[in-house]
């Protein structure tokens, strides 16, 4: 076995599992368990730094979302709830706390009587100007064990994993495909649930009439398993395959329909590059945690 240098707690846990249950597949633990512990340590450190301002990390995220908006730094509570992936009850609790601190204000939404508009107050904006640079400095400090090149590599891998889990297309990809897609982990479980061999790929949830997917003969329920000869383990992979094939006008896609495998030619509009598009996936919306 290749030497990996000093062992961390996950190496020890994996060794214990390998000894206690040799047949148990535990390779994924090397990623998932480390992500959980890294998140734990990051949140503990960042939460402690925010405490002196009377903020929790959860409330900080609300302020950050508002501060990213151009002046006057406001948005509807409904949109704020969507951006943070929260329930209406949870976002209300967070906003109520920030109201108590005098950092935000809530006013009626003239365009939606069921919602309200949340804005940063002058005090809230002033606090943001102090907290955010300090918060960013803490984040940089917590990553000092990685070089800038290593951080870039890790960021790219985490982006690919996040896209795969959320099932949200790179801007324009699902639109140019003319289909809504489910990510690999959802596709795997959905096939297993209906008695089909579980496989990784992008599951077609919906097909747009007259779009490229329909023209290629792709149907709802098909599993896209490869494009341009590369396995489709994320929507990001499909995006790159479509971009690479743009000049040729079509892309070879391998699909599985039930248990039958086939290849189709996906027509591509040479004038439209998904890298420059601004649309989003037409697939089913999925809640995200903040």
Whole-number percent of the chain with pLDDT over 90:
69
The two three-digit tokens of residue 140, written as one number: 């940089």
Per-residue pLDDT tens for 207-241? 999 999 999 999 999 999 999 999 998 888 888 89
**Which domains can be identified in the chain, with CATH numbers?**
57-141 (1.10.10.10), 169-276 (2.30.42.10)
Cα 275 from Cα 286, distance rounded (Å): 23
SS3 250: strand
Q: How confident is the model at residue 290 (pLDDT cuts 50, 70, 90)?
A: very low
Please give the pLDDT value at position 281.
39
Per-residue pLDDT tens for 250-265? 999 999 999 999 999 9
Angle formed by the axes of helices 57-67 and 88-100, nearest 10°: 90
Cα 40 from Cα 202, distance rounded (Å): 31
- pTM of this prediction exceeds 0.75: no
The two three-digit tokens of residue 141, written as one number: 């400090």
């Amino acid at each position: 076995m290749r030497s990996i240098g000093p062992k961390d707690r996950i190496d020890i846990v994996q060794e214990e599992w390998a000894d206690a249950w040799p047949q148990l597949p535990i390779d994924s633990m090397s990623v998932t368990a480390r992500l959980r512990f890294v998140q734990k340590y990051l949140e503990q450190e960042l939460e402690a730094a925010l405490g002196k301002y009377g903020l929790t990390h959860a409330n900080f995220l609300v302020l950050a979302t508002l501060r990213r908006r151009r002046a006057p730094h406001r948005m509807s509570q409904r949109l704020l709830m969507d951006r943070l992936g929260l329930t209406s009850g949870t976002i209300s609790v967070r906003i109520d706390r920030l109201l108590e601190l005098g950092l935000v204000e809530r006013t009626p939404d003239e365009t939606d009587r069921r919602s309200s508009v949340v804005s940063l107050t002058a005090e809230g904006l002033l606090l943001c100007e102090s907290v955010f640079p300090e918060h960013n400095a803490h984040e940089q400090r917590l990553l000092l064990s990685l070089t800038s090149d290593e951080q870039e590599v890790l960021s790219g891998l985490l982006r690919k994993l996040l896209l795969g889990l959320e099932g949200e297309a790179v801007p324009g990809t699902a639109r140019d495909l003319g289909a809504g897609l489910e990510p690999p982990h959802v596709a795997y479980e959905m096939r297993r649930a209906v008695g089909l061999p579980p496989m990784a790929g992008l599951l077609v949830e919906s097909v747009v009439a007259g779009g490229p997917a329909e023209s290629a003969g792709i149907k709802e329920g098909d599993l896209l398993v490869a494009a341009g000869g590369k396995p489709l383990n994320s929507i990001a992979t499909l995006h790159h395959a479509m971009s690479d094939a743009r000049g040729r006008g079509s892309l070879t896609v391998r699909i599985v329909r039930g248990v039958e495998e086939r290849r189709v030619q996906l027509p591509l509009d040479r004038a439209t590059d998904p890298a420059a598009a601004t649309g989003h996936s037409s697939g089913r919306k999925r809640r995200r945690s903040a």
